[in-house]
Structure 1
Amino acid sequence: MLPPGGRISGVRLVRLLGSWRKNGARQGSADLAAAIRLLVADGRLPVGTRLPSERELTDVLPVSRTTITTALDQLRDEGLVASRRGAGSWINGPVGGGGGILGGDDTLIDLTRCAPPAHPGLAQAMAAALTQMPQHLVSHGYHERGLPQLRQAIADRYTARGLPTSADQVVVTSGAQHAWALALRLFAGPGDRVLVEQPTYPNALEAVRAASAVPVPVPMTDDGWEVDAYEAALRQAGPRLAYLIPDFQNPTGSLLSSAGREALAAVLRKAHTPVVVDETLVELSLTDEPMPLPMAAFGGDLVVTLGSASKSHWGGLRVGWIRASAEIVHRLVSTRAAIDLGTPVFEQLVLSELLKDAEPVLRQRRLEFAAQRDVAVEALAQHCPQWSFKVPSGGLGLWCTLDAPMSTRIAVVAQNHGLRLVPGPRWAVHGGCEQMLRVPYTQSSEVLREAIGRLGVVATSVAGTGFLADAELAVPVA
């Protein structure tokens, strides 16, 4: 029986493969197989996807049919691709020896997510929320804006940070990604340009493309945000919207200063361009230095702020929010019904409990993340001394500059050492960042040391020989 899944055309597969050839004509089949593995590991070729025929691939790829056949045979031997006469070929399972990378392999270390496990106080908050559920069960349970008590708690935290906020300026969402999708729906349509940092959060870029809008990158510099570059991009591209992560930017970890916020907000106001500010990581400052005021304190009603409990408390809560002017909140709620009818009540009650006395928990989390960051810094210095990076003052990851443009190759080979990584080009609008790699430090210190030790082995092998030989790639992770 064939698995469910759509078919990908040869032209689209070629577009996804990009510059897949790394080692010249002699290694063409190995390079092609490795590139397809990466697309599966990245989720861009989901399990069940029907592949183009070998004849179609021969027409669109500048290689011989023998090369294509050899690559597919290798992937069939690994179990990644399955075929049946008369039915073609399809993606059969996850990448890795014995199906390890997405399956039940206990040796897998996933470094694709800057997402920590839940803190111990979450279970207690859930128990307290459960006692409040009976009073909500007699109602319809739909709250398009969110529970009043949670909206007030979120508003109070903004006010405490120096940005006076009322509950009617807050909408509760199912995570920050959902909040971003709502904002995109309100502000941008097909063909509209959306200004983004480069590099930036890959899922934010995917949301822009899903809205049929066009992401316009503005490069980050070593010092962060260059106001003149934004002024030029606003003038030349005429975007309908901008998306920024000024608080421990993902993936660079940069923090926009108060002076930078004021200058950038002035440029955006002059262009009358609304800006969506993603504050997902704002609670994770790892120093005692005071944080700048929120961007909305400088940009006024042009700023729509996204927040989330995913990084500070737990991603499994799936609770986020939007902070905006009352007028924008009204417009957001009016259009929300086309996407969903509200965020689950129980999760909102849990977060309400967590925010009653949030600082002790957040203080402990920050200490843990600071210690794990220092472990990652030490391990990278030991195992990848040829790489460079800035130690961020907050956030959950290190943005590393490699000694050669080999990020994608490292991500491919790392799968066979029990590591899952996001290659640098995923953070860019049109590719690039091949000399960059994000290393999260959300795992325990013991796991981080093991992961970065493996990463050092991978980096050495890739730098020395390109992709590992096929026999080495097939070795199961033990």
Structure 2
Amino acid sequence: MLQKPRPLQKLLGNWQQGDGPLYARLASALRAAMAQGDIAPGIMLPAERTLADTLRVSRTTVVGAFRMLRDEGWLDSRQGSGHVVRHPQHGVPSPYVNQDVVRAMARNPMLRRAAPESNGTVDFSASRQAGIGALLARVAATQMPVLETLPDGSGYQPSGLPALREAVAGYVQQVAGLPTGPEQILVTSGAQQAIWLIGQLYAPHGEHVVLENPTYPGAISALRMAGANLEPLPVAPDGFVLDGLEAQLKTMRPRLVMVSPSCHAPTGTVMPIAQREALVALIDAHQVATIEDQTMLELLVDGTRPTALAAISATAPLLTIGSLSKLFWPGLRLGWIRAPQPIIEHLSRLKAVVDMGSSPIVQMLAVGLMAHADEVRALRHAEIRRSLDVLCAQMTALLPDWSWQRPAGGLSFWARLPAGTATEFAQLALLHGVTVVAGSALTSDGSGDDHVRLQFVQDDETIVLGVRRLAQAWQAYASHRAGRG
């Protein structure tokens, strides 16, 4: 079910803090929500008196804020018609867009406008892994003879270059323990496209899809764009909650399930083998197509690699997805789907409609990079362990009342606030020079607003500074809550 829009006062957060007249601060908060898409074009804002009563300010404050936004081109105000949101770069308000899709994309932190890196803000919304520029240059040099021959063909290969499909098949067999042939591999533009393609094939017309809660925000956006109705499968800090899944399978009869049992994002949880077997038994019994997201498998640093779901049963309808982005570089934009050959052929036709196939040049570079997977994996694991050691020490020392568990790997640190909402706190944290993502942006039902996500792979100095600023922001937030209580 699509998430209900959040109340306007929730979107504005602690807007009264800051400098300048009160109406200018309100205008600034409204402008930010409009720019981020939380308040989409075509939406009608509450009447001036209604909004004033809701925010507990004078009507003059609201009138001044609306006037400022109208002068800047953010509002279209007409006598008797209210105040309709527009965008300064749009000629007219646009009430016919799919507002649910706009809101879904706006809640994805990856799609928000990034703050300039030069402003001194510590950005925990994205990890800063070591670059592979030198390795990429070496690989490009060794691949040059092959690259020179690529233009001899059309370049249209929706399933992927044979060389990369073969390399990925071997990689999946080695890393995930799944015997795989190249005919079972579809090369995609990252795991994001893999999720979208599968969603389009299985659940494009409002069918139910069971999705972990919380989860990777790109999955929420991709499946909502496919038209699916998302049903949450809870993930607790100490493990997956499968008790309600059987009831969902019986009553809702979902067309698709998606899980990330190996280093789940954002919690870093690894599903134990007993739960994996129970989950696969349910999938097999109900024959519900299921995505096993192994994107974070290579970033698992604690414990041995777990058994893949597809290795537990030969008859359960499982599709496995993975990506080279987390191991090598997000900008590589290459992922894959592993599935039975007939399903791969269907998905290949669908991908051809979308982009005619991923870039063969990038695919050939990926073939060369995969030969260096072991050395890059060692680099990533060292980064993750070092960053986690520093972050956990700082969190324990400076934010002792926050609740968290050290993740088994990955890039995300999932922390629970002692009180209040993460949406409010994230806005205040930004004023203190540190960016975090509120947990509600990572859930399909708007829950999780008592958690924040930190992308923790940073240099030591950045982590220390960032947690110190978080602690300062939390002290201010807790004092503010105490004052208004």
TM-score grouping bracket, smaller chain normalisation:
0.7 to 0.9
Deviations 1:354-375 (A, max 9, x none): 1113112211211121111111
Question: Which of 247, 251, 265 is equivalent to 2:262?
Answer: 247
Equivalence for 2:125: 112
**Superposed counterparts of 1:224-263, under 5 Å:** 224-263=239-278
How many Å apart are 1:33 and its aligned residue? Answer: 6.0
- Distance, in Å, in 2 between the alignment partners of 1:370 and 1:75 is 49
Q: Secondary structure at the match of 2:129?
A: coil
Q: CA deviation digits over 1:165-208, x for unaligned, max 9?
A: 00000011111101111000111122200001111112211122
The C-alpha deviation readout for 1:427-468, integer Å capped at 9, x for no partner, is 222212121111111222221111111111111111111499
- Is the 2:239–2:270 contact (alpha carbons within 8 Å) kept by the matching residues of 1? yes
Q: Report SS of the residue matched to 1:337.
A: helix
Q: What is the total number of aligned residue pairs between the two structures?
A: 447
Aligned match of 1:155 in 169, 172, 177?
Answer: 169
Aligned counterpart for 1:276 among listed residues 275, 291, 304: 291
Unaligned runs of 5+ in 2: 78-83, 90-112
Question: Residues 55, 38 of structure 1: CA spacing in aligned structure 2 closer, same or farther, 3 A cutoff?
Answer: closer
Taking only the aligned residue pairs, the percentage that are identical comes to 30
Q: Which residue of 2 aligns with 1:3?
A: none
SS of residue paired to 1:342: coil
Kindly state the Cα deviation for residue 38 of structure 1 after the two structures are TM-superposed.
6.4
2:54 matched residue in structure 1? 63
Q: Return the alpha-carbon distance in structure 1 between the equivalents of residues 46 and 58 of structure 2.
A: 12
Letter in 2 for 1:142: Y
| Counterpart residue identity of residue 82, structure 1 | E
1:369 to 375, 384, 404: 384
Is contact 1:82-1:89 (8 Å) kept? no
Retained in 1: the 8 A contact 2:438–2:449? yes
Q: CA deviation at 1:66?
A: 6.6
Deviation track 1:39-82 (CA, whole Å, cap 9, x = no partner) reads: 468x3349xx65756665767896389757636856998x9993
- Structure 1's unaligned 5+ residue stretches are 1-11, 94-99, 470-478
Which residue in the other structure is 1:82 paired with? 72
Whole-angstrom CA distance in 1 between matches of 2:237 and 2:55: 43
Amino acid at match of 2:377: L
Matched, 1:294 2:308: yes
Query: CA offsets per residue over residues 317-369 of structure 1, 9 Å max, x none?
Result: 11111111111101111222222211111211121111113112211211121
- SS of the equivalent of 1:251 reads coil
Task: Tell whether 2:330 aligns with 1:315.
Answer: yes
Change (3 A) 1:269 1:462: same
* Structure 1 counterpart of 2:467, one-letter code: I
Which of 348, 351, 354 matches 2:363? 348
**Structure 1: distance between partners of 2:131 and 2:279:** 35
Q: What amino acid does structure 1 have at the position aligned with 2:430?
A: Q
Whether 1:194 aligns to 2:209 is yes
Q: What is aligned with 1:394?
A: 409
Partner of 1:174: 189
Name the SS of the counterpart of 1:322 in structure 2. strand
3-state SS of the aligned residue for 1:376? helix
Secondary structure at the aligned position of 1:183 is classed as: helix
AA matched with 2:391: A
Cα distance between partner residues in 2 of 1:150 and 1:304: 19
- Cα distance in 2 for partners of 1:413, 1:117 equals 29
| Cα-to-partner distance string for 1:104-133 (whole Å, 9 max, x where unaligned) | 634133222346353352332233344431
**8 Å contact kept, 1:101–1:108:** no
Task: Indicate the SS of the match to 2:186.
Answer: strand
Using the TM superposition, give the Cα deviation of residue 244 of structure 1 relative to its aligned residue in structure 2, in angstroms: 0.6
* Aligned equivalent of 2:467, options 452, 458, 464: 452
> Are residues 137 and 268 of structure 1, via their aligned partners in 2, closer, same or farther at CA, if it must alter by over 3 Å?
same
Distance 1:75 1:115 in 2: 39
Please state how far the C-alpha of 1:26 moved relative to its aligned partner. 12
RMSD: 3.6
1:387 Cα deviation (Å)?
A: 0.7
Distance of aligned partners of 1:176 and 1:81 in 2 relative to their CA distance in 1, 3 Å threshold:
farther
Match in the other structure for 2:110? none
TM-score normalised by L of structure 2: 0.82
The normalised TM-score by structure 1 is 0.83
- 2: CA distance, partners of 1:342 / 1:64: 51
Quick one: distance in 2 between partners of 1:71 and 1:380? Answer: 40
Contact 1:247-1:254 at 8 Å conserved across structures:
yes
SS of the counterpart of 2:353? coil
CA positional deviation for 1:84: 7.9
Contact 2:74–2:88 (8 Å) recurs in 1: no
2:140 aligned partner: 126
- Distance across 2 between alignment mates of 1:255 and 1:443: 23
Q: For residues 23 and 29 of structure 1, do their structure 2 counterparts lie closer, same or farther at Cα, with a shift above 3 Å needed?
A: farther
CA distance in 1, matches of 2:383, 2:55: 53
The answer as to whether partners of 1:174 and 1:319 remain within 8 angstroms in 2 is: yes
Q: Provide the secondary structure at the position in 2 that maps to 1:338.
A: helix
Give me the whole-angstrom Cα distance separating, in 2, the residues matched to 1:418 and 1:23: 15
Aligned-partner Cα distance in 2 for 1:212–1:198? 18
CA distance in 2, matches of 1:80, 1:143: 50
In 2 relative to 1, CA 29–199 (structure 1 residues): closer, same or farther, beyond 3 Å? farther
Q: Is the 8 A contact 2:254 2:288 kept in 1?
A: yes
The letter of the residue matching 2:469 is R
